[in-house]
Amino acid sequence: MIRIYHTSDLHDRRGIAAPLNAIRSERPGLLFDCGDSLRGSQSLYYRDEPIIAEMDAAGYDAQAIGNREFHYLFGLLRARAQRMRHPLVCTNLQDTKGRALPFLPAIRFDVAGDRAERVRVHVLGLLVMQYRMGSAWERLFGWRFLDPWSAVAPYANDVPDGDLLVVLSHVGLALDRRLAERVPRIDLILGGHSHDTLEQPEYAGAVPIVHAGPYGRFVSRNEVEYDPQRRRFVLADFALLPLLERSAA
């Protein structure tokens, strides 16, 4: 059994570290965020982003780039990434100017499974597209956005049977559904951006889609296990756990 927690769209809502640490001390697991944790945006930059310290205190293992973490100016996205102890991951964002990326296109974790064997967890990240491929903005800034399925499919095709494939998505629920239909090898989509709160996972085929909602109200707890008959990981248990008191949008 592999346990994974996830938040999304925190938008600088603070106070998350203590409850997340308490939850994970009782039932340990990987902790991910699906983007838009900051108060800045793709065009607005703040030197001080207090939520970063909170996320690092909570021990996040990785975070997808949302449109709040992204910035059109390469140096400002790099500056944001350098302030974080946890890695940023984004699979569908490329740089056409050949600069060293301040984020990872994919990340892997080796975690203990049910019988003390190690399970490799492959984690991809998706950022909502800011403009079309080949646009004038691409030529100006150097950033190229791939559609979610074109970015994920090459990785998914190479993931061995018995490995777990998780996508941290910041493209919204509607595109998550299309992604699951087009890339059925995905074992779990943890989503954000559209501010949906799903009380139960939604399925597109065999792929579960989980949205924990915005502003740190909830953290999702997802427990997956390998089903040898289906030859894939299945979501064996799920819960939305209260995190912060309900706050205004």
- The pLDDT of residue 112: 84
- The pLDDT of residue 149: 98
| Tokens matching residue 50 | 């207090």
pLDDT band at 115 (very low <50, low <70, confident <90, very high): low
- 180: number of CA atoms within 13 Å, CB side? 25
Please indicate, yes or no, if residue 249 is contained in any of the structural domains: no
Please indicate, yes or no, if residue 115 is contained in any of the structural domains: yes
pLDDT band at 249 (very low <50, low <70, confident <90, very high): very low
Residue with tokens 């074109």: 150
Please indicate, yes or no, if residue 248 is contained in any of the structural domains: no
pLDDT in tens, 128-179: 999 999 999 999 999 999 999 999 999 999 999 999 999 999 999 999 999 9
Please indicate, yes or no, if residue 51 is contained in any of the structural domains: yes
Number of compact structural domains in the chain? 1
* Cα–Cα dist 51/8, whole Å: 13
Please indicate, yes or no, if residue 208 is contained in any of the structural domains: yes
Domain of 174 in residue numbering reads as 2-242
CB 215 within 8 A of CB 197: no
* Cα–Cα dist 61/80, whole Å: 17
* Cα–Cα dist 186/84, whole Å: 27
The mean pLDDT of 102-116, rounded to a whole number, is 87
CATH of the domain at 17: 3.60.21.10
Distance from chain centroid for Cα 180:
15
Exposed, middle or buried, 231 (CB in 10 Å: 0-12/13-18/19+)? exposed
Please indicate, yes or no, if residue 247 is contained in any of the structural domains: no
pTM for this predicted structure: 0.96
H helices, E strands: number in the chain: 6, 14
Please indicate, yes or no, if residue 235 is contained in any of the structural domains: yes
- The pLDDT of residue 116: 63
Question: Is the per-residue pLDDT at 51 higher than 70?
Answer: yes
Please indicate, yes or no, if residue 120 is contained in any of the structural domains: yes
φ, ψ of residue 90 to 5 degrees: the values are: -155, 120
